[in-house]
Amino acid sequence: MPTHRNWAGNIQYSARAYHRPTTVAELATLVAGSDRIRAVGSGHSFNPLGDTTGDLVTLAGLPADVRLDEERRTVDVPAAMRYGDLASWLHERGYGLANLASLPHISVAGAIATGTHGSGERNGNLATAVAGLELVTATGELRTVHRDSDDFAAMVVSLGALGIVTRVTLDVLPTFDLRQYVHLDLPRPALDEALGSAYSVSVFTDWRSTRGTQVWRKQLADAPAPPAGWLGTTAADRPCHPVPGMPTANCTEQLGVPGPWHERLPHFRLGFTPSSGDELQSEYHLPRADAADALAALDEVAHLIAPVLQISELRTIAADDLWLSPQYHRDSLAIHFTWIADTTRVLPVVAEVERALAPFAPRPHWGKVFTTAPEAIAATYPRWSDFTTLLHHLDPTAKFNTPALNPLFPR
């Protein structure tokens, strides 16, 4: 069984029992017989979204077969598979995924359920690659949904509230190569152009000065190299880590060396500690058009942010039509915070960040630390009431509810 804490160590799971089924039938029996049950993946949620007072289930014991359909350009994978393992498997066969998150250690089903994302103004979040899902619903029924199924758009980014996903079908494309360049000291007026300058872009800042800014550009390998002095920056002449002081060996290769998509899109290598490893995280998604005003609002509270911050990351993600996706119907800017691992000091600052961003209708990342009131979150999602109706239909006894879901969907 996995540890009884999440990856960050800030959440102690409160489950009464832990299970590792080896067949879907065994899982279905567990679900049907439990009053409270939840699946745990890689544990990369920083809030109690994956917790339960009932039965906690790991899917790592289910069949681990991966099925590639070259005619349909899809791959069918077990829910517990890590993106990094899937990416290597696909690349060996000449295929890839359109995007990856910043770390490859996360499970496929967990990342999709929470709307986890990579970057790129024309790239959707990871859930937009989903072509189908297999899940066990509250009655123990095994249900399969595809893009043409009713309620598909509700069931992909579903926070694990509609059932336990056992397999996921993803769109694939031919494998491709990227080059990763890091640029230092980006002037704030050039931020907008920088964010749209490559296949995937991340801008890191410490909220102290532009002198701490890094731009990580992941461009297609056949695109021209950036010129000297690109947008007023200085090209890094050695590998960098987003978090000051952390070992650069943990990061994917930089300095423009070409390499396959799965070794450049993440910031961190699969076999190494991602990020700083000792941290809390928050992230907010707001309309891309409001980026300049939102960052100016955060400048007003930068003196509060900086003392408890390790690093902040800015990324863009394309709009989609998934009901609870943070990018639902709006191209988005994601503002991410990697905090120090001190909940008491961090939470008051999180509240100040949320106050500053409130005029821009931010949507918190479902798997990270936030204090936004449930009604404020619901107001930013046009299909919230429709999702609630479907939730009550598929899980009338709140079997899949958690301490994080209870305030959002009270029964």
Task: Quick: pLDDT tens for 248-292.
Answer: 999 999 999 999 999 999 999 987 667 667 899 999 999 999 999
User: Mean pLDDT, to the nearest integer, of 124-129?
Assistant: 98
Which has the higher per-residue pLDDT, 411 or 62?
A: 62
Confidence of residue 73 (pLDDT cuts 50, 70, 90): very high
CA distance 368 to 142: 29
Contact between residue 396 and residue 404 where contact means Cβ atoms under 8 Å apart? no
Give exposure, 199-221, as e/b (b: 16+ Cβ within 10 Å): bbbbbbbbbeebebbbbbbbbeb
pLDDT value for 382:
98
Q: Summarize pLDDT for 143-188 with one digit per residue, the tens.
A: 999 999 999 999 999 999 999 999 999 999 999 999 999 999 999 9
pLDDT value for 211:
66
Phi, then psi, of 299 in degrees rounded to 5? -55, -30
CA distance 89 to 82: 11
The pairing of strands 55-58 and 37-40 is: parallel
CA distance 332 to 118: 12
pLDDT value for 6:
86
Confidence of residue 210 (pLDDT cuts 50, 70, 90): low
pLDDT at residue 344 greater than cutoff 50: yes
**Which region, left, alpha or beta, applies to residue 255 given φ > 0 means left and ψ of -120 to 50 means alpha?**
left
Phi, then psi, of 345 in degrees rounded to 5? -80, -30
The reply to whether CATH 3.30.465.10 applies to domain 67-175 is: yes
pLDDT at residue 21 greater than cutoff 60: yes
184: three-class secondary structure by DSSP: strand
pLDDT value for 105:
87
pLDDT value for 104:
84
Angle at which helices 343-357 and 291-299 cross, to 10°: 130
Percent of the chain with pLDDT over 70: 98
pLDDT at residue 1 greater than cutoff 50: no
- Sheet with 37-40: list strands edge to edge: 17-19, 55-58, 37-40
For the residues of 66-132, what is the DSSP string, one character each? Answer: -EEETTTTEEEEETT-BHHHHHHHHHHTTEE-S---S-TTSBHHHHHHTT----BTT---GGGGEEE
pLDDT at residue 18 greater than cutoff 90: yes
CA distance 1 to 321: 35
User: Do you know the residue count of the chain?
Assistant: 411
Flag the least confident range among 35-44, 349-358, 376-385: 35-44
Phi, then psi, of 7 in degrees rounded to 5? -60, -40
Average pLDDT over the chain reads: 95
pLDDT at residue 381 greater than cutoff 60: yes
User: Mean pLDDT, to the nearest integer, of 45-59?
Assistant: 92
Q: Summarize pLDDT for 219-257 with one digit per residue, the tens.
A: 999 999 999 999 999 999 999 999 988 999 999 999 999
